[in-house]
Structure 1
């Protein structure tokens, strides 16, 4: 009987602790359910902390209108819409979440000494020098400080789609006007990462897609993530991924460049990526409304309190909280940005409370 009592006491304590933790995660379940209609009818949240996935939950409740909209978007892209339920292995376009992946890829070349952040792009891409843009640095490419006046997203994507190779894509970018001195104007766009992608192709003699697969996707076990097989890769927005894959990348960022004991990026590169490049002397020419007061590093937004992120146009939201030592990925697919920033802030607060 004496042995049974301590066991019962321990069991009671464990159950009490579990009961205490559960309401926090129940709040996340409720939040995902209550916001699913605002986020395209499907959402999926994955959270990693202390060496493991601590939360994985999806809500699937698409309306007929949302299904029709997804079909229309896919049709315009020449694809077939995937209307199946979200899981942690659902593959989907992640738009600007791609920027973080691509910036990390470029930083692998910096780590190897094959590229410096102060290197100017004209050294590798003479067409940019001929059009007065050769002095733009790699650092400026990674932080939207090229000073090039980008057309709107639709026109830029059309220009890239018409290019037969990366050289033609860069020639088109070279034709765009400058709106200010490089390093002094912040304009959130696809141009800088496209240029950086072209530079590492020149250095390596390999395609951007191959470089990403070998240097980022394979070592991180991102078996379902790629930039497609197009004539021209789109480093700033062309990736397709899954929650399970993208969380591996976030774990690497959280762990200061290591994943499963293997170093992918140096601690120095991780630190460089998380330095705000929008200093007092930088003019913000364009930043998405949902970004609020913008702070930006290399391929990622600096959100304050140790948090970095790279949200996508379609609503997916990856983030790393260095202070609370966790990372998370929200998958969604919708275009209407209204209220998006407030939802991100609300969700992040709930997650931080749940994982403490």
Structure 2
């Protein structure tokens, strides 16, 4: 028995030493990698057996000299969804809601509509049928941003979901915007008041806020990709409709407290059984997403990423190993050369004791980026070449094949323009307005190409038909 206790104590001490060594490794990695990444600043918190270690490096705004601290609020993006799901679970435990209630039971605007039978569970685990594009359809819309959550949910109630409910998993912000409206109707409080009163305050998250209205003065300033680097992005006021899907700002230390709650096997602001339910498989159609959290059955980890214009977040924890981490940077990575994920993923992997592969040298995204960036100057060059060869263009009017070669490029370039501004953005999960928010350099190159490509084709036609081809005098 005595030997067993000694071994147990040694194991406990070893786990503590391992956590301390991991923290040192994290700091060393950040100091080496931060200058190589596009992020001006980073903050993180590691939780091991309930103990929180927090750290921060870099600047709140690039070039300002103002340091980021472990108490600096960062926008956490879609990690907010776990807070929204937690609020729903609290209301379920209070018997105000049932997880399999149809949404129409709590939001009358859905009654009789195309999504009337969608349940709270299906909204929570993204099997409602709403698509990613539908969830991002109002990014950047000033009109939609003026609406309250319940009013906006009423607009979503009129949309035909892309899939039949319960059949397909597809991530959609619309699901959590609707859940935010459910929280307001069921609790009688605004979403922000509910989260602050029922989650932030009990957990001691004093540097956290639901951003509706003016943003906190001390919040980290976001930075967006701009032709290989990043530029500061003042995102302005936060809107109610975005709050439940991605509107929380929190400090690294506060997020450490939040993860410590999730790692606790005891009842707290929700029961231990509810936490287990939320971090496990919730539906056959959603094997890798629980209720507000992504789940990795092979590794036994629970996680969520967050992305807003100018910032990225990773939150991950392993209930069995009692370890967790949150990593936040004040820049969002680009398709090209503004890489942040090697830094974020490297810190997360080291904190969780997982392998990490440097992905900053991958040329797939860079090639895609360069193939678009090069197009606007290329069409300007084509216009110069067309001007210099205008005599040849005019000669093409004399034959049917020549006329075809004059007019076909216009049709082709109009098709290209449609593809670039309408179809291609949906591959990234949104509209051209969404891309302008997250990848402004890439988006503006798409728009410039969509203008210049048809303009070049039209310019060729003007050159061909506006002049007269000189004919040789008969001998």
Task: Place the TM-score, normalised by the shorter chain, in its bin.
Answer: 0.7 to 0.9
Q: CA deviation at 1:18?
A: 10
Matched, 1:310 2:304: yes
Paired residues of 2:47 and 2:260 also in contact (CA < 8 A): yes
- Matching residue of 1:75: none
- After superposition, give the CA deviation of every residue in 1:182-233 in whole Å (9 maximum; x if it has no partner): 1112221211111111112111221111111111111011122121334625
Output the CA distance in 2 between the equivalents of 1:246 and 1:18: 21
- Matching residue of 2:106: 124
- Matching residue of 1:251: 260
Q: Secondary structure at the match of 1:335?
A: coil
Q: How does 1:270-349 map to 2 (within 5 A)?
A: 270-277=275-282, 279=284, 281=285, 295-304=288-297, 305-313=299-307, 314-336=311-333, 346-349=346-349
Which of 150, 156, 179 is the aligned partner of 2:162? 179
Q: CA deviation at 1:118?
A: 0.5
Output the CA distance in 1 between the equivalents of 2:193 and 2:255: 18
User: Which one scores higher on RCO, CA 8 angstroms, separation ≥ 6?
Assistant: 1
Paired residues of 1:46 and 1:247 also in contact (CA < 8 A): yes
Output the CA distance in 2 between the equivalents of 1:244 and 1:20: 20
Which of 218, 230, 234 is the aligned partner of 2:201? 218
Q: How does 1:68-87 map to 2 (within 5 A)?
A: 84-87=66-69
- Matching residue of 2:446: none
- After superposition, give the CA deviation of every residue in 1:5-49 in whole Å (9 maximum; x if it has no partner): xxxxxxxxxxxx999986544321222123324251211221122
Aligned in 2, Cα 1:44/1:175: closer, same or farther, shift over 3 Å? same
Q: CA deviation at 1:243?
A: 0.8
Which structure 2 residue ranges, 5 or more long, are not aligned? 1-14, 214-238, 355-475
Aligned in 2, Cα 1:295/1:22: closer, same or farther, shift over 3 Å? closer
RMSD after superposition: 3.0
Q: How does 1:106-255 map to 2 (within 5 A)?
A: 106-151=88-133, 155-159=137-141, 161-230=144-213, 232-233=240-241, 234-255=243-264
Q: Secondary structure at the match of 2:194?
A: helix
TM-score of the superposition, structure 1-length normalised?
Answer: 0.76
Output the CA distance in 2 between the equivalents of 1:34 and 1:129: 56
Output the CA distance in 2 between the equivalents of 1:177 and 1:240: 32
Worse-superposed segment, 235-244 or 31-40:
31-40
Output the CA distance in 2 between the equivalents of 1:91 and 1:49: 22
Paired residues of 1:278 and 1:295 also in contact (CA < 8 A): no
Output the CA distance in 1 between the equivalents of 2:147 and 2:22: 51
Worse-superposed segment, 331-340 or 194-203:
331-340
Output the CA distance in 1 between the equivalents of 2:169 and 2:208: 29
Q: Secondary structure at the match of 2:312?
A: coil
- After superposition, give the CA deviation of every residue in 1:52-81 in whole Å (9 maximum; x if it has no partner): 22x33322168xxx838xxxxxxxxxxxxx
Larger radius of gyration: 2
Paired residues of 2:131 and 2:171 also in contact (CA < 8 A): no
Paired residues of 2:75 and 2:249 also in contact (CA < 8 A): yes
Aligned in 2, Cα 1:152/1:204: closer, same or farther, shift over 3 Å? closer
Output the CA distance in 1 between the equivalents of 2:101 and 2:22: 48
How many residues are treated as equivalent by the alignment? 306
Aligned in 2, Cα 1:23/1:118: closer, same or farther, shift over 3 Å? closer
Q: CA deviation at 1:248?
A: 1.1
Q: CA deviation at 1:330?
A: 1.0
